[in-house]
Structure 1
C-alpha cells in the first residue's frame, strides 16, 4: 500500500528497508507535492496500484511462491478427517519426531523402534517396514492392492497420490492410510510413555471400527462415489 504524507516526521530505524522508505518519502516531499489529500493505493502487481483492496492480490504479493505439491490431493481431500490429514502431512514431509531425529539432538536417547525393538526408528521404518505396522497395514489394504501390495513408504505415496483406482476405492485407500498412520503414531507415543501396548490385531480392529463409523457418516453427504463405500469396505475384509 502507498500512503503519501504531506507533513512527514523523520525517524531512523534499525532495519535499512524502513530507512529507504523514509528516504523515498522525503524525496517525494521535496519534489513538490501539492496540498491535496493523501491517496492510498494498494499494490496489485509490479508497478500496478489501485484504490480497491483485494485480500487475494495482497496475499499473492506478500507470500513466497513455491512449486505446487503434487501429492497434497492424496492427503487433503473431501471427507478426510483433519487431524488424520495433518499427521499424514507431517509424516510425508518427514517431520515426525522419530527416534533418529531425537538421537540427533541427544545421543543418549534410545532410538530403537518401540514396536519391534530391532532397528533404529525412522519414518520409513515405522510406516510400514516394522513387522508390527506391516501387519496392521496389510490387514487394512491388502484386499485393495492384492499383488501390488507394498510396505515401501515412497511406493505407497505414488500409489495413493495417483489415480490408479476408481474414486470409491481411492477414497478408502487414502482414508485407510490416514487412520493407520495416525493410530500407529499414537501407539508408538503411548509405548514410549509407558502405556500398555496393543497387539497389532487389536489395533487393526480399532482402525477398522474407526473407518466403518466414518463411512456411515459420509454416506449421508450425498457424494455419489461414496454410496457404495461401506459395501466395498466390508467386501475386502
Structure 2
C-alpha cells in the first residue's frame, strides 16, 4: 500500500492491484496461493494497518483506516458513498476543496462522529508530505510490520500452567515435546478413549493385555513400560516409589536437585513417552513387537544423539560426561 522500494511490492502492484484498493480487490482463480492467503488475512490486518495523513492523495477515504473510526465504509455503512456524495474509490483529498471539507450535513450519528473528528484535523493538509502507512501493534514503538510483535497481539492467552517447563524448554525435540504435551492433557487416542467415542474395539493394553489401556497404565504402570523406566532410573535417580499417576511423574521431573539432573529427567521422560507411544502404535498397526530392552536401546541412542548434537550449549556440556 505504501509502495516500498522492493521487487516483490512492485510486482504485486502491477500484477494484482493496478491502482485498485488492496481492501476491495476480489481474488481471481489465476492468483497464486500466497496472494489468495494474503487477501484472506485482510480482516486481521485492518486492526494494525493505519494511515498517518499527509496530503491525503493516496489514502482511501472509505477503506483505509486514517481516522480512529476505522474503515468509514464499515462505520457509516455501504450507503456511505451516496450519503456523503463521495465515490467508493475516492481518496481523502477528494473530500476537500480550498482547505474546507465538502461533506454534506450529517444525517446519522455515524456521520456526526466523522464530522466531529474532521474538526480536529489541521487544514490545509501538507501538500509536500505523502500519506504514510503504518503497522501499529500494541505499544510497540515501531511503525513497521514485525511478525514477533504482531503475534504477541494475536496469539491466544491462557493462565500459565505449572508444567509448561516440563513440556517446552530449550533443547527439547519438537516431536517429543508435542507427544508429551498431548499426553499431559490426556488426549492421546488410547483404546479406552477410542471406546468412549463409540468405536467397537478392545480396551486391553496392547503390551500386557491384562488391564485397560489408559494413559497412566500405558506409560507408568504396565510391566512392559516399567522395564524401560527401570533402565532410565539407573541413570536419572529413581523416585521414592513407583509412579501411580501422571502427577507423580511430573513431581519427579521437577524434584529438587542439580540443574543437569532436571534437564536429564526432562529429556529422558519425553524420549521414553515418545518411544513407548511409537512402539504401542507399531504393535497395533504393524504387528511389530520389540522387547523393552530394545525400546530402551532406542531411548538411550536418541538421548546420546540429543546431548551430543547440543554439546556446544552450556546447559548440555555438563551432560556429556553423564
TM-score greater than 0.5 by the shorter chain: yes
Q: Which runs of 5+ in 2 are unaligned?
A: 1-47, 52-58, 64-70, 81-109
Match of 2:217 in 1: 125
**What TM-score do the two structures reach when normalised by structure 2?**
0.58
Report if aligned partners of 2:176, 2:274 keep a CA contact under 8 Å in 1. Answer: yes
Residue 204, structure 1, aligned to residue 296, structure 2: yes
20 and 69 in structure 1: CA distance in 2 versus 1, 3 angstrom threshold? farther
How big is the shift at 1:143? 4.6
Q: Which residue of 2 aligns with 1:229?
A: 319
Number of residues of Structure 1 aligned to a counterpart in Structure 2: 218
Over residues 179-207 of structure 1, what are the superposed CA-to-partner deviations in whole Å (9 max), with x where a residue is unaligned?
A: 10010001100111132211112212221
Does 1:94 find its partner at 2:170?
no
Of the candidates 39, 43, 52, which is equivalent to residue 143 of structure 2? Answer: 52
SS at structure 2 position matched to 1:96: coil
CA distance in 2, matches of 1:133, 1:20: 63
Structure 1 Cα separation of the partners of residues 235 and 114 of structure 2: 76
Match of 1:195 in 2: 287
Q: Contact 1:112–1:120 (CA<8 Å) still a contact in 2?
A: yes
**1:30 and 1:49, CA in 2 relative to 1: closer, same or farther beyond 3 A?**
farther
Hey, what's the Cα distance between the residues in 1 that align with 2:212 and 2:296?
A: 24
User: 1:150·1:156 contact (CA, 8 Å) conserved in 2?
Assistant: no
Counterpart in 1 of 2:269?
Answer: 177
- Unaligned residue ranges in structure 1 (runs of 5+): 9-18, 233-237
Please state if 1:158 is matched with 2:251.
Answer: yes
> What SS does the corresponding residue of 2:270 show, helix, strand or coil?
helix
**TM-score with structure 1 length normalisation?**
0.76
State yes or no: 1:114 paired with 2:114. Answer: no
Flag the structure with more relative contact order, 1 or 2, with Cα contacts below 8 A and sequence separation at least 6: 1
**Distance in 1, Cα, partners of 2:265 & 2:187:** 23
Comparing 22-31 and 35-44, the one that deviates more: 35-44
Residue-by-residue CA offset, 1:13-53 (whole Å, 9 max, x unaligned):
xxxxxx997244652488445896877565555xx898824
Indicate the RMSD between aligned Cα atoms, in angstroms.
3.3
Change (3 A) 1:147 1:40: closer
